[in-house]
Amino acid sequence: MMSTMLLSLMLSLVQSPAETAESAATPVAKGRIYVFESDASGFNTKNFFYDTGSEVVVFDTQFTPEIARNAIRFLRTKTQSPITYLVITHPNPDKFNAIDEYKKAGAKVIASEKTSAAMAGVQTYKKYYFVNLAKMFTEEAYPKLGTPDITFKETFDLKLGNGETIALRELKKSGVSSNQTVAFAASANALFVGDLVHHKAHLWLEGGIVDGKPAPNLQNWMDDLRELRSLYPAAAEVYGGRGEVAALSVAVADELQYLTQADKIVSAYVKALGVRASELTGTEAGVHHAAIEKKLEAAFPSYQLGYLVQYGVYGLAQSKR
């Protein structure tokens, strides 16, 4: 009798650690991702809602508070989970202009220290353009600048109520803007990258706004893409600010090709202008930007949203003078 009891006790001791390990390794349920895209009045910007079933994390805000309210109404047709966090991926107005709408909805706003520091300068530059030059807003109607609740340097682990962690990381180089945050939700194999990637859509080639002027750096942008490739699984699904969802390996390869070709096309165009390159900052600038758009559309005929080139390429074109 004693030997049987002893054997039973020994077996239970051997099995317990394995059972504990199996319990600890139980994967967190995969969250659902809802996508809202504005129309052209908001530059066809996408923001993403990551719903765990008990809370929602939002990535980026939309260009205006009105569009953000539409996005939140869209979310409520999908889930009633409360919005708990908003992550800003980089300091462009379509990413941060509607911060206050998400705060009203209950979100704490997270941004890197670099993004937070850059927002005021970008706000000043963009407000001047959209109010005084584009005449899209009055001074009073332009969106007010919101402020993040949480800032971080380099990395931040956003711990959710269901035990999941969304890993935020500031990339090493400037990328599409003056700096770039990405977010990886491992349980969903989802990588949120803002406008760093527009898969099968044209890119905004303005560059980051630094010291009151555009500062494009395509080499840094390409280095950021290569950093993504070194950090995350090749099969991770990339959710970019515009365009289609694609596996990381495909998205990076296609984006590198686009940036390389765009650099060649813009460089050749500006060089061909010769002494007329001064027109890129004058009343004829729009004509040249439209011509560059046509060249990029011809090089990438299956890509969407060609108008983004015409609006954004001025930064890259001016840098080639």
Is residue 272 assigned to a domain? Answer: yes
pLDDT tens, residue by residue, 126-151 = 999 999 999 999 999 999 999 999 99
Is residue 175 assigned to a domain? Answer: yes
pLDDT tens, residue by residue, 257-290 = 999 999 999 999 999 999 999 999 999 999 999 9
pLDDT band at residue 30 using 50, 70 and 90 as cut-offs = confident
CATH code of residue 152:
3.60.15.10
Count structural domains, the chain.
1
Residue 294, Cα to own-chain centre: how many angstroms? Answer: 26
Mean pLDDT of the region 25-50: 87
Give this prediction's pTM: 0.90
How far is the C-alpha of 250 from the C-alpha of 256, rounded, in Å?
A: 10
Is residue 27 assigned to a domain? Answer: no
Range of the domain at 211: 32-319
How far is the C-alpha of 261 from the C-alpha of 275, rounded, in Å?
A: 24
Is residue 161 assigned to a domain? Answer: yes
What pLDDT score was predicted for residue 78? 97
Which of the two residues, 14 and 58, has the higher pLDDT score?
Answer: 58
Residue 241 has pLDDT above 70, yes or no: yes
How many Cβ atoms are within 10 Å of 154's Cβ, its own excluded?
Answer: 12
pLDDT tens, residue by residue, 144-177 = 999 999 999 999 999 999 999 999 999 999 999 9
Is residue 3 assigned to a domain? Answer: no
* Residue among 64, 34, 61 at smallest CA distance from 130: 64
Is residue 10 assigned to a domain? Answer: no
Quick check: helix, strand or coil at residue 243? strand
How far is the C-alpha of 160 from the C-alpha of 2, rounded, in Å?
A: 49
Judge whether 182 and 193 are in contact, CB under 8 Å: yes
Residue 91 has pLDDT above 80, yes or no: yes
Is residue 167 assigned to a domain? Answer: yes
Is residue 44 assigned to a domain? Answer: yes
At 86, list the tokens.
């908003």
